[in-house]
């Protein structure tokens, strides 16, 4: 019996029980739709996180204070407070071949007030290089310059969300706000960049680093002014390891380190790899949960095929009596099971894509989720659906193929 003939007979048999065939396919449809939609959500979340990390800048290295060791117990990262503004200046002036730019920053929370409006947000003290290194753009006004740093000017640049909260859409440039009861003149507003689990980059106020040190956050280490973090931009992606080595040498010399470093250098690539690993596990987990639905659908196919074998026992006996071989009967029932699963899989792909499209644009915290339905997830779901049909159709087909023709003809 040819494949085409098997398919024709299978379709005729399935169409004889349309409702039962549709209900049998429902499990496969739900399973495939769940796989497509959930994997699309996982990959959309991964793309959103990658976009947020990359929006911070390119080829970045983040230098943070190390962990203190108190009484033999290692404290959390940043507990040593050993990085200073002077360290950043030294790195900038060292002429390191693999380093393109250096900026330092301090971070604290402050109450920002304008007339009757107020907001509690991050106050970030930075240097002029921060705009280039961290890929910020000013929507109106201007960014901090060297004169502001040297004069310790009380000027501020507002993040997009802070400007909207305090000024309700009006242009704040030239207005004065109070940060922790210190008056600052607004000189600019940042373009919106959005946020993620790494912090909303629109919910902050930027001021000159020297002003933050002198007026808002005092701290000294070996005669230097403490900073929260130093960010370095490497000349290109291939120079990251060289930049780490050169930076470490300068800081070890400045901090007189002999054994364990009192600072930590992380690359943007490390952050991306970590995020991709986490979201990759999440995507696989979501796909696995949805795959359980496919297994349930496969069990449904096996159940219905067993019922079909029982109902068609006499038909099987007649076919064998007129010359049908065991192989013909086996292939016939396998074809029916495969058609059920493949048709269910195709309908499930369409349903999954529609669900993903419906989810697109929904806010996920501060990020807009955009599920990504990719060709490999569609192909995987289709192959898995066909495999489920074949696997769960083998036993019913084997039972049909091994029926004794004489017993089958006697079956009522």
Question: 352-380 pLDDT, tens per residue?
Answer: 888 888 877 666 555 566 777 878 778 88
- DSSP class of residue 215 equals I
Q: For the segment 37-81, what is each residue's pLDDT rounded down to a tens digit?
A: 888 887 777 777 777 766 666 688 888 887 655 454 455 555 567
Identify the pLDDT of residue 364.
58
CA distance 371 to 46: 10
Of 306, 331, 305, residue with least CA distance to 8:
331
Q: Quick one: average pLDDT of 379-387? A: 81
Q: Is the pLDDT of residue 167 over 70?
A: yes
Identify the pLDDT of residue 352.
87
Structure tokens at 158: 């507002």
CA distance 320 to 332: 13
Identify the pLDDT of residue 123.
92
Structure tokens at 20: 């039962």
Distances (CA, A) of 12 to 315, 344, 366, 383: 14, 17, 53, 24
CA distance 74 to 48: 34
Q: Is the pLDDT of residue 107 over 50?
A: yes
Q: Quick one: average pLDDT of 383-407? A: 76
CA distance 243 to 241: 5
Q: Is the pLDDT of residue 10 over 80?
A: no
Tokens 């000294």 correspond to what residue?
220
Structure tokens at 411: 């079956």
Catalogue the E-assigned strands of 117-239: 117-126, 138-141, 155-158, 176-179, 182-190, 195-196, 199-200, 204-208, 220-221, 224-225, 229-234
Of 38, 9, 22, 28, residue with least CA distance to 353:
38
Strands 67-70 and 99-114, by their bridges, are unpaired
Identify the pLDDT of residue 126.
92
Helix (H) or strand (E) holding 28, with range, is helix 18-54
Percent of the chain whose pLDDT exceeds 90:
15
pTM: 0.64
Boundaries of every domain in the chain: 3-53+273-410, 81-261
Q: Is the pLDDT of residue 221 over 70?
A: no
33-42, 201-210, 250-259, 304-313: which range is least confident on average?
304-313
The mean of the pLDDT values for the chain is 80
Q: For the segment 264-291, what is each residue's pLDDT rounded down to a tens digit?
A: 888 877 777 777 787 778 777 877 777 7
Contact residues for 277 (Cβ-Cβ < 8 A; gap 6+) = none
243 vs 397 pLDDT, higher one: 243
Alpha-helical (H) ranges within 260-368 are: 268-311, 313-321, 326-359
Number of neighbours of residue 136 by Cβ within 10 angstroms: 21
SS3 240: helix
Contact residues for 28 (Cβ-Cβ < 8 A; gap 6+) = 294, 297, 298, 301, 340, 341, 344, 345, 348, 385, 388, 389
Identify the pLDDT of residue 196.
47
CA distance 316 to 382: 30
């Amino acid at each position: 019996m040819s494949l085409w003939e098997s398919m024709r007979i299978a379709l005729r048999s399935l169409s004889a029980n349309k409702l039962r065939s549709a209900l049998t396919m429902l499990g496969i449809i739900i399973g495939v739709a769940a796989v497509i939609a959930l994997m699309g959500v996982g990959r959309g979340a991964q793309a959103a996180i990658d976009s947020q990390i990359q929006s911070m800048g390119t080829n970045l290295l983040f230098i943070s204070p190390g962990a203190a060791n108190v009484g033999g117990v290692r404290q959390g990262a940043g507990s040593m407070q050993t990085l200073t503004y002077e360290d950043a200046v030294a790195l900038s002036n060292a002429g390191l071949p693999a380093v393109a730019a250096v900026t330092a920053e301090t971070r604290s929370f402050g109450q920002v007030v304008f007339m009757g409006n107020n907001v509690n947000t991050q106050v970030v003290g930075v240097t002029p290089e921060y705009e280039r290194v961290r890929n910020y753009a000013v929507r109106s006004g201007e960014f901090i310059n060297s004169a502001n740093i040297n004069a310790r000017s009380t000027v501020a640049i507002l993040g997009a969300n802070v400007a909207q909260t305090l000024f309700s859409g009006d242009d704040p440039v030239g207005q004065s706000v109070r940060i922790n009861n210190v008056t600052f003149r607004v000189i600019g507003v940042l373009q919106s960049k959005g946020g993620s689990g790494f912090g909303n980059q629109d919910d902050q106020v930027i001021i000159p680093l020297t002003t933050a040190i002198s007026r808002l956050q005092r701290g000294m280490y070996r005669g230097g002014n403490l900073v929260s973090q130093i960010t370095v931009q490497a000349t290109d992606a291939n120079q990251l390891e060289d930049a780490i080595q050169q930076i470490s040498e300068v800081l070890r010399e400045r901090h007189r380190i002999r054994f364990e470093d009192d600072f930590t250098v992380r690359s943007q690539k490390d952050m991306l790899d970590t995020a991709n690993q986490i979201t990759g596990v999440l995507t696989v987990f979501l796909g696995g949960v949805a795959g359980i639905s496919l297994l349930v659908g496969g069990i449904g196919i096996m159940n219905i095929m067993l019922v079909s074998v029982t109902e068609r026992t006499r038909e099987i006996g007649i076919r064998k009596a007129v010359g049908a071989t065991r192989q013909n009967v086996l292939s016939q029932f396998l074809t029916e099971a495969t058609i059920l699963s493949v048709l269910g899989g195709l309908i499930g792909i369409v349903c999954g894509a529609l669900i993903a499209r419906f989810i697109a644009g929904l806010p996920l915290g501060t990020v807009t989720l955009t599920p990504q339905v990719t060709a490999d997830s569609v192909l995987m779901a289709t192959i898995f659906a066909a495999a489920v049909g074949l696997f769960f159709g083998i036993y019913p087909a084997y039972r049909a193929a091994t029926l004794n023709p004489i017993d089958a003809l006697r079956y009522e």
